[in-house]
Amino acid sequence: MQFNNSIYEIPIINKLIVYDETDSTNNRAKLLINTSSPEQVPNTLIVADCQTGGRGRAGRSFSSPSGEGIYMSLILKPDLDASDISGITLLSAIAIYRALNKYHNIKTNIKWPNDILISNKKISGILTEYINGYVILGIGINVNNKEFNQAISDVATSLFLETGKTLNRENLIEEIFTEFSMLYNMFLKTQNLKFITKEYNDALISYNKDIYIIPQELTNVLTNTYNITNNNLESCLCMGISPKGELICRHNDGRLELVSSGEVSIRHNF
């Protein structure tokens, strides 16, 4: 992949490492953190044209064919309390949502905490990992993919399949990090997500709708509504995100629950 020098004008990017092929850009980021001197690592962006072992949340894989998608990891060292760090994931979802809307007029939704959807199918996922005080922000986007294998075609789509447009991946990466830089600086100042709450809730696919909260250990087991109701899980009303990025849910008995990402996944059947 060929980047212009303008990528270095984005305040959050100091250094760029590009691979034609690697196992996982998050793995490369981990290795860099473990083998480099601390001042060299923060704000390094690692991008790959394809990944042979792309990873998603909950142990899933992320399909990463060559020439089609964006696979990248940004290393950050934020001066934040540990409890605030998960907010970075929500910020990056907003950065992708904004970039697609602002530069390409592509409307998306967010599935809390950090999947980007079009027509209820996923076009982007985010895997945030923490290691030795660093945050690895791993972003995968299905950009120009023409097809998906049968196993995932019900749940995954690409920007090309949804809009008919072929996008330049390097430009889209710059656009996303231009947006992310501004959001991240504001977050470091305010240390809460109030400044994006309305925008996030407007984009949230489940806002004001009934959802199921699935415990992490069941997330790869309960894959349909039949399974879910058979496991005695009750639905609750999704009321948007809190200033810390938790999902606010109202149960049928009126009780409010603040759900943290990492502990659960969310299902909806609307």
Helix, strand, coil shares, percent, the chain, to 5: 35, 30, 40
Closer by beta carbon to ligand BTN, 81 or else 121: 121
- Residues 3-18 as b/e (b if ≥16 CB within 10 A, e otherwise) read beeebeebebbeeebe
When asked if residue 86 is in the footprint of ligand BTN (CB under 6 A), the reply is: no
Nearest approach, Cβ of residue 252 and ligand BTN (Å):
30
CA gap 26, 139 in Å, rounded: 9
Nearer to ligand BTN, 57 or 121 (CB): 57
Interaction pattern, residues 11-30, with ligand BTN; x per rule: CB under 6 A:
-------------xxx----
Which of 87, 113, 140, 245 binds ligand BTN (CB under 6 A)? It is 140
DSSP state of 264: E
Closest residue to ligand BTN, judged by C-beta, is: 125
* Piece of 83-91, 124-132, 173-181, 215-223 that binds ligand BTN (CB under 6 A): 124-132
Tell me if residue 181 falls in helix, strand or coil: helix
Closest of 171, 207, 188 to residue 91, by C-alpha: 188
Q: How many whole angstroms separate alpha carbon 233 and alpha carbon 235? A: 7
Within 177-236, the residues that bind ligand BTN by CB under 6 A are: none
Q: Indicate if the alpha-carbon torsion angle 25, 247, 261, 81 is positive or negative.
A: positive
Count other Cβ atoms within 10 Å, centred on residue 176. 25
Which of 13, 42, 49, 71 is close enough to bind ligand BTN by CB under 6 A? 71
Residue 138 interacts with ligand BTN (CB under 6 A)? yes
Give the x-and-dash track for 46-65 against ligand BTN (CB under 6 A): -----x--xxxx--x-x---
Which residue type does 58 have? A
Write out the residues near ligand BTN by the rule CB under 6 A: 24-26, 51, 54-57, 60, 62, 71-73, 125-127, 138-140
